[in-house]
Each structure stands twice: as C-alpha cells, then as structure tokens.
Chain A
C-alpha cells in the first residue's frame, strides 16, 4: 500500500480549533497515509472527536490547514486568500468521507436497508433498484443479511453499529472516520463490530479510528497518535507506542486503560 507517488490521505498542518474562548486543538500536525489504519487515542476531552469532525468539516477550524486527498477541507485557496466553500461543495467533499459515530445515529424512521440506501439515492442519484441491491450486499458483508427489514430500535447496539458502517460504505468512501465505534456497546457486542472493522482494514480502506480498544490498535493499526490537551504528545507504530511509551502522560494514560 505504499507508493512514492501517493500523497497522504489526510494531512493536518498546525490545526487549531476553539469553542468560544476555549482552545480545544492547539496545533495538530499529522499525516494519514493511503490505505493505513490510523488510531487516535487519548484521555476524554483531549480533542479526538473534535479533530475527527474537522476532517469532514462538521467543525470549522480556526487556524492551520487540513487536506483530504490533497484537497483543502471546507475552503478554496486562491493566491493567499481563503474562500469558504458553498454548502453544496462542502457536501460534495463529505460524500467521499464515511463517518461512524459513537452513538450510531442511524435514521430511526427507516429500516436497516433504507438506512443504507438513503445516501446513494439522495446524494448520488442512484436508482432505487441499484441502491437496494448494493445495500443488500453491504448488509450481507457486515453479517446482517437477515436484518434488512428491521428498524434500528429492533436491533442490538452491535447490529446498529454494523448497519451504520454499511451505511457509510454505501457511498464508496475513500476514507472512513470512526469515533469510538464500540464505546456505547455492551462488552459482549464489541467483538462483532471490531471484526467488521478488521475486515474493512484488510480490504485496504484508509481508516482514522478513535478508540480505547488497545488490542485492536495493536493488532490492526499501522500508526498511532496519542493526544492530550489538544496536542499530539507522541506518535509511531502502535506496537512501539503501546509497549514502549516515551512520554509520562502516555505512560499514565496507558496504565489506566490497559
């Protein structure tokens, strides 16, 4: 998956983000290579979700630059001036970036199948028959072929999260963002979701994963970044960072979660 000509899938340069007077991201620099599983760990409130949401412009950054696949996120640069993108252009950028939320956020008024069909039909204008066929395949892929007609309320948390992954994949994204996808699940349901993510990683999908599942990070991850207080404290290969943390804050955090 490494090729010299390929630019990074995500590139962050000194990304700053404040909510009012509180600065949540204080200059994040990092690169996510194409095809890699990039794990983001850190204590609660360190800004992981905020950074993830900046990548698909659910949050606007205040300073720095953020690129996805070489394209500036949310802005257009002409000379040394930045122009905000129109809503439609932002939506256009987002359709190539899948996102999976901690609380699933499935559409409760639609069945599993309809959840997966919705975006291809509404955003890409795919035909109903086409969308239905692809949605059915995706649900099979996440092991829910027999749950197509169920509403989210009729599914377990693990099943809902797998539908949410299928829903994101239906847009054929080039990048998938996962925000603590297993944190809202009962312990016995975590495995089924991680299995789907592992499959996805093996298929070569570029993934940015915020997680507390250190086992998953160690096994599946290609890079790992430890964040605390809105800055990157330490980064490297997951095995190195997790087994041999350099920084005291990393050591303290890992001692707590492992």
Chain B
C-alpha cells in the first residue's frame, strides 16, 4: 500500500502521464460475516427436515403414490383439467380483450354493457356461476336458435360445457380489467404518431397499442392461467371428471385417500410449473425494446446465482 502511494503523485507536483501512473493495489478487506444468515438457514433447514421426517413416518404408502402418479385415470383427469383450463382461458382472454376495448370505446352503449358485464361476473362467486350454468335446463328446456340449431338443454349443458362457460365467462371479467390497464398504460403519443402516419384506428390498436399493452397484460395473465388451473378443480361439484374429481374417486375406491391427494398435489405442481416457465419466455418476448438488454433466461440466472454464491461464500465460507 505505502509503496503504491509513494509512486502516485499527490497534489503539488506535475500530473503524471496516464501510462506512468501506477494502479493502486486491489482492496483485500475481510468481508462482513453474516452470522444471522447462517443461523436462520440452519433453523429453516431443521424445520424442513422435521416436516419431511414426519411425512415419511406418517401412515402414507409412498409406493401407492408412485403407483398412481401415472395411473391412466389420473392422467386422463390431468388432461381434462388442462383442456378445461386452456379453453376457459381462451374464452376469458378473447372475450376479455373485446370487453376491454368496449370499456374504452367512445360508444356509451358498448362502454356501459362492458361495465355491467364486469360488474355481474366479478360480483358473484364462480361456484354459484357454475351451478347456474349447470342447472340452466331447469328454466330453459331447449336451446333454440331458430332454424340453425335446436337441442335439449340437458344434452347441451354437459358438465364440461357448464364448467367451460362458468369459468370462461367469469375469467373474461378479470381479463377485461387486465386488458384495460394494459391499454391505458400505452402513451397517448403512440396513438397520435400512428394516426399522424395515416394509420386507421383499428390498425393503430392492433399494430401499435396492443403489442405495447402486452407487456403489461402478460404477467397478470400468467397468474390468471395458473389460478385457472387450480380453480378448475371447482368443476368437480358439477361432476366434471377433472384431476381432482377422478383422484377423489380413485382414492376412495382404493382406500388411499391421502396418497391420491398427494398424487393430485404433485400433478397440479407439475402443471403450474410448466405454465410458469412458458409465462417467463412469453414475458421475455414482449419485453423487447423496453430495456437496453433482455432479462436473463433461467439458465443464465442459475449460472449467475451460483457464481455470486461462490463469490459471497468465497473467503472463509463453505468450500465452493
């Protein structure tokens, strides 16, 4: 240190040319020890170990869990859950965006109809809505669309249809609000610039406003997707054979209630994890242009985390 200092000109004398200047010695300080971090880690790990131990000793036949995790009936239930979720979200997203545009429209009729829709569907429990759809045959015996289509309501309103409509229409109300927030987040200047170039209002919405709104819309939509995966289990009350219902049935028939509940839990986690990963890449795609650099992918993040952990743990830490 002193040696380096001696060679660095200090005030008074002439300023040394850059190449003559000696780079000061790199700092080698003893890092702050985070004792709290270590203590809290130990406590949390201990609690986790206790939980794992408890479950391994509980009266759970883990082999049964393993047996039913890829049971045909269970997988068909998972598939039904996935389909119901995708279709309900499709209805929710498309109808939601239409409602969002309606709510921001200049036309007072469209605006108020959209408002009323959102008011109704957000204001009632989705469980009640499911029963309402399922029991529609109590008040309408036929679905009669004149010469195009006519059928008995009980034939049309299968458990799947009722679940799809109940979940999808309810979701549209939430997606409408998400869409509205997204559209309103886009700067007015963008619309003006597009109009000034001669773009029609419809093109402006489609090419300029919606792609930018997406950046705001996608993250909460991902959450809605994951919520829908879980909420779709409510469809069991109207007898739709999704993941939860089939697992209840398989579990009670085989006297393995807890085992099947664990199977269900694992399946929901698998599905939600897949969706989370998809959401991440979608967000990355729509973030283009918003930052100077794109956010790292999970792999890049893991690598960076490992590196920074090594660095933190470096001197005096656990062997890396």
**Chain A contact residues, CB within 8 Å of chain B:** 56, 58, 87-88, 91-92, 94-99, 101, 103, 105-111, 118-119, 122-123, 151-154, 167-168, 171
Contact = CB atoms under 8 A, between A and B. Distances in A.
B199 interface: yes
25 contacts: A58-B195, A58-B196, A91-B198, A94-B195, A94-B198, A95-B197, A98-B196, A99-B193, A101-B193, A105-B189, A105-B192, A107-B193, A109-B211, A109-B212, A109-B286, A109-B288, A109-B289, A109-B290, A119-B197, A122-B199, A122-B203, A151-B288, A167-B197, A168-B196, A171-B198
A90 to B, nearest CB: 8
Contacts of B197: 94-95, 118-119, 123, 167-168, 171
A178 to B, nearest CB: 12
A155 to B, nearest CB: 10
Interface in B124-147: none
Contact of A119 (B187, B199, B288): B199
B71 to A, nearest CB: 46
A118 B197 CA distance: 9
Contact of A88 (B189, B196, B200, B290): B200
A182 B197 CA distance: 20
Nearest to B203: A122
Nearest to A103: B189
Interface residues of B, number: 25
B190 interface: yes
B201 interface: yes
Contacts of A88: 200
Given A91-B200, A95-B198, A171-B198, A105 B193 contact: yes
A110 B289 CA distance: 7
Interface string B190-232: 1011111111110100011001100100000000000000000
A118 B195 CA distance: 12
Given A94-B195, A109-B288, A109-B290, 16 more contacts: A91-B199, A95-B198, A99-B193, A103-B189, A105-B193, A109-B212, A109-B215, A109-B286, A109-B289, A110-B289, A119-B199, A122-B199, A151-B288, A152-B289, A153-B289, A154-B292
A87 B199 contact: no
Contacts of A105: 187, 189-190, 192-193
A16 to B, nearest CB: 22
B291 interface: yes
B62 to A, nearest CB: 50
A109 B195 CA distance: 17
Contacts of A56: 196
A101 B208 contact: no
Contacts of B208: 107
Q: Which of A58, A122, A154, A171 has the most CB of B within 10 A?
A: A122
Nearest to A154: B292
Interface in B57-92: none
Q: Which 10 A-B pairs have the closest CB atoms?
A: A95-B198, A105-B193, A151-B289, A119-B197, A99-B196, A105-B189, A94-B198, A123-B198, A109-B289, A108-B289
Q: Which of B193, B194, B288 has the most CB of A within 10 A?
A: B193
Nearest to B192: A58
Contacts of A118: 197, 207
